[in-house]
Amino acid sequence: MATFISHSPSETESLGEKFGRAAARGWVIALSGDLGAGKTQFVRGVARGLGCAGRVHSPTFTLVNEYGGGRLKLFHLDLYRLETPAQILSAGIDEFLSPEGVSVIEWAERLEDGRWKMEDGKTFVRVEIEVVSATERKIIYEQLP
């Protein structure tokens, strides 16, 4: 595990960009953190690192946003409105756990543990963002492969 202290949204985005540059097809990045912690800011950086076009915004009401135009397609999921494993299953997110691109899942802690079994060399990376102060975030993440 690694820890990064972000002092601004742009620093959070820059860390996400590193993830995007390192990402390979099939990666799933699981984000957790309170409302306003900077999860979507992190995803903006991932999109930039992948070279994806389009304005990145939280898919809270649509569940999934897709961004193309980069070296890999980005699937941005937000599970905030889904409260139970049954709701998550019925939403059909299984395809995004083995994506033809990269999936980033906000509120990933809402998935049951068994859903995180990756196969065929797929990479799953957990990222937790903690609010330290109005401008500071503590980001704990698994080392990039």
DSSP-based three-state secondary structure for 138: strand
pLDDT of residue 114: 46
What is the overall mean pLDDT for the chain? 87
- Residues 42 and 45: their CA atoms lie apart, in Å, by 5
Give the helix/strand (H/E) hosting 126.
strand 124-131
pLDDT of residue 122: 61
Can you give the pTM of this predicted structure?
0.89
H, E, C per residue of 20-89? HHHCCCCCEEEEECCCCCCHHHHHHHHHHHHCCCCCCCCCCCCCEEEECCCCCCEEEEECCCCCCHHHHH
pLDDT tens sequence across 80-130: 888 777 787 788 877 787 788 999 999 988 776 545 544 555 678 899 999
The DSSP bridge partners found for residue 66 are: 75
Catalogue all structural domains in the chain, each as residue range(s) with its CATH number.
2-141 (3.40.50.300)
Q: Taking a C-beta distance cutoff of 8 angstroms, is the pair 70, 50 a contact?
A: yes
Residue 68 and residue 51: Cα distance in Å, rounded? 8
Report the pLDDT averaged over residues 43-48.
97
Task: Give pLDDT tens digits for 68-82.
Answer: 999 999 999 999 888
CB 90 within 8 A of CB 105: no
Amino acid identity at 30: A
- Cα–Cα distance between 76 and 93 in angstroms, integer? 11
Q: C-alpha angle with apex 105: 40 to 95, nearest 5 degrees? A: 140
